[in-house]
Amino acid sequence: MPTKEYAFYPGCSSQSKASAANLQTSITAMCKTLDIKLTNIPDWNCCGASIAYAGGGELERVVMNARNFTLAAKHLPGQDIVATCAACWLNSRESKVKLDGHPQLLAQANEALKEAGLNYQGSAPVRHMVEVLIEDFGYAELKKPVVKSLAGIKFAGYVGCQTNRPFGIAGESFENPMYLDKLVESMGGEALTAYDQKVTCCGGALAFSEPDKSQQHIRDIVEAAYDHGADMLVTPCPLCQANVEVYQSEINRKQGTKFHLPIVYYSQLMAVAYGGSVKAAGLDGHIIAPTKLQEIATKK
């Protein structure tokens, strides 16, 4: 299979020493094995996430994304734009739907973009890394490079919201998407397919502004994983990962629970299964160490 090339939109949280730096580390290792070449969109900017609406209006948020598309089309023509962050993907894709479907909005966006010396004339599709894996490779192909099976580890697949709704992964249901379970199984792990909190919201940005309300959901997400016998939770979303890992100690402090559930990324599973070290898979980037996965990564 020839090298697959994509225009990469890493997003703010994936930068070095940012909250999802270890997602990026594991994505790099995974892509190396799969012969995927990701080239950063030169000088990319923030997508505005989902929470900026009180500060920035629709046009401002759309323009932020249009700048990224225009830079991608200019410097990396023909390459699909790929994001690993759920919010980056959703906001980019939503902006693109609006730009491409509303000539008046497009004209206004271009008027603003002109100030940055740019002009949006369409771009390649905006895709999630999971779409790339499933559609451009497929489970059988992803399984081929596995050198270390993840047998013996039970994973609760926590898909969350924005990788799943409103766009989702083609062919998957919004209520019970199976792709994460299939990815786990492809790596030899045990997927707890009956895990019932797989599409529950962690609170998103409201984990910061409404901590108590959000922590009720985080508690459900973690508790259900324990009920199903999970060793760890696996997710595609950087904010889900951070919220569910970081606030366990707060929930323990306030509610007297004893939660200590590791939360990992699908790409970390793949990096380990493909023979990556603890460091290469970003497994040193956790507050709650995923020890069972670290043991497999350390094993010769």
Partner 1 sequence: MNALRTTGHQTTPAVAARYRNDFLKEVEAHVEDGEWVKMCMQCGVCAGSCPLGAHWEHPPQELFMMIRAGKRDAVLSCDAMWMCTSCYNCVVRCPRKLPITQIMHGIASYAQELGLAPKVQPTRDFSIQFWKNCTKTGRVNEIKLTVGLYFKDGLVAGIEQVMNMLPVALGLMKAGRLNPFELLRGHSPKDQKGIAAMLKKARAIAAQRAPATH
Site residues (CB under 8 A) for partner 1, limited to 84-103 = 94, 98, 102
Task: State the nearest-atom distance from the C-beta of 59 to partner 1, in Å.
Answer: 5
> What is the footprint of partner 1 within residues 137-176 (CB under 8 A)?
161-162, 165-166, 168, 174
Alpha-carbon 107 to chain mean position: 31
Among 78, 115, 256, 258, binds partner 1 (CB under 8 A): 115
Bridge partners of residue 82, in order along the sequence? 8, 127
Q: Is 13 in the site for partner 1 (CB under 8 A)?
A: yes
DSSP string for 8-51: EE--GGGSTTSTTHHHHHHHHHHHHHHTEEEEEPTT-----TTT
Q: Is 79:124 a contact under the CB 8 Å cutoff?
A: yes
Sign of the alpha-carbon torsion through 78, 83, 87, 89: positive
Task: At 289, list the tokens.
Answer: 């160490």
Q: Is 117 in the site for partner 1 (CB under 8 A)?
A: yes
Q: Is 251 in the site for partner 1 (CB under 8 A)?
A: no
**Judged by CB, which is closer to partner 1: 25, or 79?**
25
Q: Are strands 81-83 and 126-128 parallel, antiparallel or unpaired?
A: parallel
Compute the distance between CA of residue 89 and CA of residue 184 in angstroms, rounded to an integer: 22
Task: State the nearest-atom distance from the C-beta of 60 to partner 1, in Å.
Answer: 5
**Judged by CB, which is closer to partner 1: 33, or 95?**
95
Compute the distance between CA of residue 283 and CA of residue 291 in angstroms, rounded to an integer: 9
Compute the distance between CA of residue 193 and CA of residue 279 in angstroms, rounded to an integer: 29
Among 6, 8, 9, 22, binds partner 1 (CB under 8 A): 22
Segment near partner 1 (CB under 8 A); pick from 126-134, 137-145, 248-256, 265-273: 248-256
The pattern of x and - marking residues 38 through 57 that bind partner 1 according to CB under 8 A reads: -----xxxx-xxxxxxxxxx
**Judged by CB, which is closer to partner 1: 116, or 146?**
116
Q: Is 217 in the site for partner 1 (CB under 8 A)?
A: yes
Compute the distance between CA of residue 114 and CA of residue 117 in angstroms, rounded to an integer: 5
Q: Is 121 in the site for partner 1 (CB under 8 A)?
A: no
Task: State the nearest-atom distance from the C-beta of 116 to partner 1, in Å.
Answer: 3
**Judged by CB, which is closer to partner 1: 56, or 171?**
56
Q: How many residues bind partner 1 (CB under 8 A)?
A: 72
Segment near partner 1 (CB under 8 A); pick from 72-80, 120-128, 196-204, 266-274: 196-204
Helix boundaries (H) for 125-236: 129-131, 139-143, 179-186, 206-209, 211-227
